[in-house]
């Protein structure tokens, strides 16, 4: 199931109005069966284009979720996104 979900998100044909919608779908999928899907957390979340989410929403609703605590690779991704939002004149240097 994880492979299918990830394939949908990397498909260039997907049409969404807001990247928050992708994040919320991922969260619903993960929260449906957290024990079984915890191992796929990074794989799924790394497909969300967090840099395209409003900085306030990212900080208030994403970065500090309890589900993400203890996942060093995901925290590193979030640090990169924070840098992207904090340093808009250096976007070319920050890979998200």
Q: What is the pLDDT of residue 47?
A: 84
Name the pTM for this structure.
Answer: 0.77
CA pair distance 74, 54, nearest whole angstrom? 18
Q: What is the pLDDT of residue 95?
A: 57
**Domains of the chain with CATH codes:** 2-93 (1.25.40.420)
Give alpha helix (H) positions in 1-96.
2-10, 19-32, 34-37, 41-45, 55-57, 72-86
Q: What is the pLDDT of residue 61?
A: 93
pLDDT, one tens digit per residue, over 56-94 is 999 999 998 988 988 999 999 999 999 888 887 776 766
């Amino acid at each position: 199931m994880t492979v299918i979900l990830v394939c949908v998100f990397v498909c260039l044909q997907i049409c969404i109005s807001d990247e928050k919608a992708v994040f919320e779908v991922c969260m619903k999928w993960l929260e449906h069966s957290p024990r079984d899907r915890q191992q796929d957390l990074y794989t799924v979340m790394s497909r969300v284009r967090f840099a395209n989410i409003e900085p306030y929403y990212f900080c208030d609703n994403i970065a500090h979720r309890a589900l993400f605590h203890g996942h060093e690779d995901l925290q590193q991704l979030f640090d990169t996104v924070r840098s992207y939002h904090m340093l808009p004149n250096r976007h070319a240097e920050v890979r998200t």
